[in-house]
């Protein structure tokens, strides 16, 4: 058992390690990973393992290893306003991170086989919206989840810009998955023990790229023993935003711009140095290896300690660096939710303030 990157002490350190190992490569993906604490999707008694680069499963609840989600997010090439379908949406962790990038005018749907996992995902989504300060840094495309087998999606469903399947896809279902895509869309799925990226370049044209060796539990085949009939899964409709919703998005966007302008003015066009603080340095060298995880196995870059001489040199360099910067380093101030403070200071009725804040609890 092992992970592709070192364990972190908190969510930010886990992301630091994923960046250093080149699993997270773009700013959008980094921001999404930092905004949602992976530990929030664990049951309380298992949270000690949340920042390890390992998969986790308890009953029907399952989370893939962070390095797998990183590769998936990067491969999807997400942009604001796109439509996304998550097959085997599970806890909603991935769908929520995707929603932070899609923004208010995207589409974010998930299909999950187990109804108890759907309820778990809805609870975690509600917790994130109501309690996480990082939520206010984004305009969110809230995911919608439906129960059913993702191999029984109604043939009249809309096609999507991005599709991810979180279970091993058998070769006979490859065309079924491809047909869920719009032209120009991207599908990421485990296919023949490879995490695979497929881009639809035309009505009958595809480009395929193998990303990583993996071993996922296979898709569960539909069971028609009871009735002999298929139970079609009807995806949520692509709804038009209400005028009330659009007004909230516009007002929050305007307030954010005002806060940004005020910050730029105070800091002299943003050139003022922010408080600095150090994270634990992670020393590693890269090598190719095979990593065995719970129901997942993949070839990846894994870190190993350097030899004793290099360790001694690194420790000496670190000591000198700490001495040189000790006088200039400041403990970071607690984060401030400026959007919340600004909304609460407005001369508005309280119900409107709380509506603008999505009825936040903090």
Any idea which residues carry the catalytic annotation? 64
Sequence-distant (≥ 6) Cβ neighbours of residue 301 within 8 angstroms: 4, 21, 22, 286, 287, 288
For 230-268, give the secondary structure using H, E and C: CCCECCCCCCCCCHHHHHHHHHHHHHHHHHHHHHHHHCC
- Do residues 185 and 199 make contact, with C-beta atoms less than 8 angstroms apart? yes
Neighbour-count burial of 13, counting CB atoms closer than 10 A to its CB (0-12 exposed, 13-18 middle, 19+ buried)? middle
- Do residues 38 and 11 make contact, with C-beta atoms less than 8 angstroms apart? yes
Q: Which residues of 109-144 are buried (b: 16+ CB within 10 A; e: fewer)?
A: bbbbbbeebbebbeebbeebbeebebbbbbbbbebb
Rounded CA-CA distance 159/180 in Å is 5
């Amino acid at each position: 058992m092992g992970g592709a990157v070192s364990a972190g002490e908190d969510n930010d350190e886990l992301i630091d390690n994923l960046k250093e190992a080149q699993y997270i490569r773009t700013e959008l993906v980094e921001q999404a990973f930092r905004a949602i604490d992976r530990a929030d999707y664990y049951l309380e008694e298992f949270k000690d393992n949340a920042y390890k680069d390992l998969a986790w499963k308890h009953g029907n609840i399952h989370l893939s290893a962070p390095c797998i989600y990183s590769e998936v997010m990067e491969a999807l090439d997400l942009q604001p306003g796109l439509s996304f379908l998550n097959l085997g949406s599970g806890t909603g962790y991935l769908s929520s991170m995707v929603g932070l990038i899609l923004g208010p005018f995207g589409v974010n749907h998930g299909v999950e086989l187990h109804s108890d996992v759907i309820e778990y995902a809805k609870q975690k989504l509600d917790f994130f919206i109501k309690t996480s300060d990082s939520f206010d840094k984004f305009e969110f495309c809230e995911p919608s989840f439906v129960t059913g087998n993702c191999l029984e999606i109604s043939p009249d469903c809309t096609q999507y810009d991005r599709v991810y399947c979180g279970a091993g896809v058998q070769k006979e279902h490859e065309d079924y998955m491809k047909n869920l895509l719009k032209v120009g869309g991207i599908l990421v799925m485990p296919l023949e023990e490879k995490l695979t990226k497929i881009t639809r370049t035309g009505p009958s044209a595809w480009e395929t790229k193998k990303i990583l060796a993996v071993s996922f539990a296979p898709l569960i085949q539909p069971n028609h023993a009871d009735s002999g009939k298929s139970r079609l899964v009807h995806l949520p409709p692509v709804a038009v935003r209400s005028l009330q919703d659009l007004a909230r998005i516009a007002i929050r966007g305007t307030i954010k711009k005002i806060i940004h302008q005020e910050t730029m003015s105070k800091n002299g066009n943003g050139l003022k140095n922010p408080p600095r603080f150090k994270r634990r340095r992670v020393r590693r060298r890269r090598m190719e290896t095979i990593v065995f995880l719970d129901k997942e196995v993949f070839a990846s870059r894994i870190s190993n300690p350097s030899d004793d001489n290099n360790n001694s040199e690194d420790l000496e360099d670190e000591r000198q660096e700490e001495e040189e910067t000790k006088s200039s380093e400041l403990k970071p101030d607690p984060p401030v939710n400026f959007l919340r403070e600004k909304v609460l200071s407005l001369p508005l009725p309280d119900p409107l303030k709380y509506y603008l804040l999505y009825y936040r609890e903090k």
